[in-house]
């Protein structure tokens, strides 16, 4: 237990400082001011044409708060829709967490990161299967959540020592990856693959391409760049 005498002494010291401050204030208030008042003349208002408000297409906030599925790339002509693509194109928290190695821990983490919703699309061209996922975060308490989501996925992509990577222009840390050998993980689709991960605003982007033959870097880069242009 602390010494009560020390507490009383400390309280007296504080009161002394307050009293001294008040006395100084009263003395200063009684003196005549020596400096001129900081008064400026009213500035004229700007005239002329005012900038037009952003349209819904230009305002990223308005665009992202609409139907997120409309920001996804459209299925190419002649391509089919695989069975694994969500019927309505939405992935909810449990659905997105199910793609993680540990779904329960993933769901808890996503809640902490202010996960809002995710939209998904995909197609099969016969040569390759494509999956594109946009994940939206609240950014109220965790502003960096979209970047963190993209970075964590890039971490796992880089675990492949033979992977070829290339930065996605205009995305900061966004990158595309081509895996030259089939994955040994059971959760990954068989065959060869490529992937791309980036973020912009309150969205993180994930693209995967699967095929029996090697996926060209140009294929995954083209998808990533065209998708980012829509965000």
Mean pLDDT (whole number) for 11-20:
37
- Which pTM was predicted? 0.72
Q: Whose CA is closest to 224, among 178, 159, 163?
A: 178
Tell me: pLDDT of 24 over 50. Answer: no
Query: What is the helix (H) or strand (E) element at residue 227, kind and residue range?
Result: helix 217-228
Closest alpha carbon to 152 in 98, 82, 200, 199: 199
Cα R_g (the chain), whole angstroms: 29
Distance, CA of 90 to CA of 73 (rounded, Å): 15
| Residue 48: band (very low, low, confident or very high) from pLDDT cuts 50, 70, 90 | low
* Token pair listed for 64: 């992202």
User: Virtual CA dihedral for 56, 59, 60, 61, nearest 10 degrees?
Assistant: -90
Q: pLDDT tens across 201-224, in order?
A: 999 999 999 999 999 999 999 999
145-186 tens-digit pLDDT:
999 999 999 999 999 999 999 999 999 899 999 999 887 664
Q: What is the CATH topology of the domain spanning 60-228?
A: Protein Transport Mog1p; Chain A (3.40.1000)
Between 142 and 101, name the one with better pLDDT: 142
Lowest mean pLDDT among 83-92, 113-122, 209-218: 83-92
- Does residue 74 have a pLDDT over 90? yes
């Amino acid at each position: 237990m602390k010494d009560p005498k020390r507490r009383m002494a400390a309280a007296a010291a504080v009161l002394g400082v307050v009293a001294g401050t008040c006395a100084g204030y009263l003395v200063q208030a009684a003196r005549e001011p020596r400096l001129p008042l900081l008064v400026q003349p009213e500035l004229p208002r700007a005239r002329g044409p005012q900038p037009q408000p952003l349209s819904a297409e230009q305002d990223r906030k308005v665009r992202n708060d609409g139907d997120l599925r409309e920001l996804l790339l459209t299925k190419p002509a002649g391509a089919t829709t695989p069975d694994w693509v969500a019927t309505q194109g939405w992935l909810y928290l449990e659905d997105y967490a199910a793609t993680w190695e540990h779904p329960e821990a993933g769901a808890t983490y996503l809640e902490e990161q202010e996960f809002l919703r995710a939209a998904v699309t995909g197609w099969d061209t016969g040569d390759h299967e494509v999956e594109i996922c946009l994940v939206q975060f609240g950014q109220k308490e965790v502003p960096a959540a979209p970047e963190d989501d993209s970075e964590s996925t890039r971490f796992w992509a880089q675990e492949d020592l033979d992977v070829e990577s290339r930065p996605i222009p205009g995305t900061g840390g966004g990158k595309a990856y081509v895996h030259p050998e089939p994955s040994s993980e059971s959760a990954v689709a068989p065959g060869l693959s490529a992937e791309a991960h980036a973020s912009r605003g309150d969205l993180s982007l994930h693209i995967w391409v699967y095929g029996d033959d090697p996926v060209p870097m140009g294929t995954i880069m083209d998808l990533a760049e065209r998708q980012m242009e829509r965000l």
